[in-house]
Structure 1
């Protein structure tokens, strides 16, 4: 996997990372985020890491991972080796989850998606709205949170599949102080108040994956010494959960920079299923890396 070497940086240099998932082909939105990370690392004398977020073993493939390397190299991205692959570090995520279990801040959740959907539908049939998270998904019902330890042990002993969810009310009480994060994506640095409660009892581990995005990303950022998290505006609200987990696990707080999104003709965020905006598809049509920079609104010399 040969690519251009990153310039030498001091041990105390800022650390940036680009972290795609190999569950599809990269598109213009990914190119924009990767190039923004590289531009900011270069401007600050920092380092750029590449992380492959492949905790979803059913959707992530080696074919897509290799395509990521090809596309990023083609647009001119360079990064440090070795590349971190999340699927090789499940044990570390399990250790962090165990820490939260020992603190009494997570609980086993047994409801299936169908059961949650039925629960919400029954509630809303009465005319009352069910609370939803910032992404629009219904918050998880209190059913499993309110189970007794005896009932939980019985269900687990019976082999009932379950996830592990963060008890958000108990966790916020444990954290004590109000949470916030440092944001630079709007221009001048500012402090943003974090509201993890908006997400309800988020999943930290599923029966088919030992970690969720929320848990693995904060563990990885800390272990890799990431000082600046530069990512799309669609993950802005998720930062509240990440800050909460950082506080609970005693992890350092990076600076966050949420950049604008590259939108499709319909005004919506690009999807990996939209082949016309894929980096590989554009390359095959005769586009060159400079064209990619122009399409995402970056100057060729940046």
Structure 2
């Protein structure tokens, strides 16, 4: 076994251990301390005591944090691979905002409800935003450069957020819930809303994994990738579809959560290297850990209240974004 394979295996194994540790912390830590006996009762579905009931509530919340974090981590890694942009992230490129806009418009204008419908709206909005940003970023000399994609994504995100505010302002009946959802959080999670998302998440994962080889080739440049026999256009479509589905699922379930897709792939490259066959699953594990720990931190910092994970990830991701800009100076990967 080569050093590269050993390093990748070590990184993946370490990621699994960290996910399990994160799940354990998420179940144990909350606004109130819970003795071990009540933790076990809560995991078994017994809610006779307050502590056991609290643990039972944390179970779907933990599952949602792991699922959404993995989806955002993978989508960020794939987007960075497609665009060769070190700043690519579902939030920075406006994909999250597009998904959120479609969900809010569906609620406000068409009285749409139901988890499955929200998932379709989120995926459609993410797809439209991704196509729009890439089209705008491709205009002009040099094509879709990292700088132009970042600027187009930022402008799209701002415009979508402003439009959401315009849609919600006249609707006092939904304004409170929509504004809370826009912050991004996993509180109030239920298995009834998580289960319909699992098939979508699986499709997004499979598409992303299937695109690993073409993403490795794209890292060498489009011309060389085509020379190696890769269908660049088809590969980009498959990869983009996987990232869009995952981002739409995460946004529909939790709201627009930023910076997870930016931070996690960079950290995973330090451990597992640049091979997307390893990077994509590692980004899923890393995203699950980051969002799970962000949820735990939000419960601790504001006791007895809580901070939504979207706020916590912003505190972590904003300095990382500045550091990435200064380090890469808008160069490609």
The TM-score with structure 1 as length reference comes to: 0.24
**Higher Cα Rg, which structure:** 1
Q: Identify, as 1 or 2, the structure richer in strand.
A: 1
Q: Identify, as 1 or 2, the structure richer in helix.
A: 2
Higher RCO, Cα 8 Å, sep 6+: 2
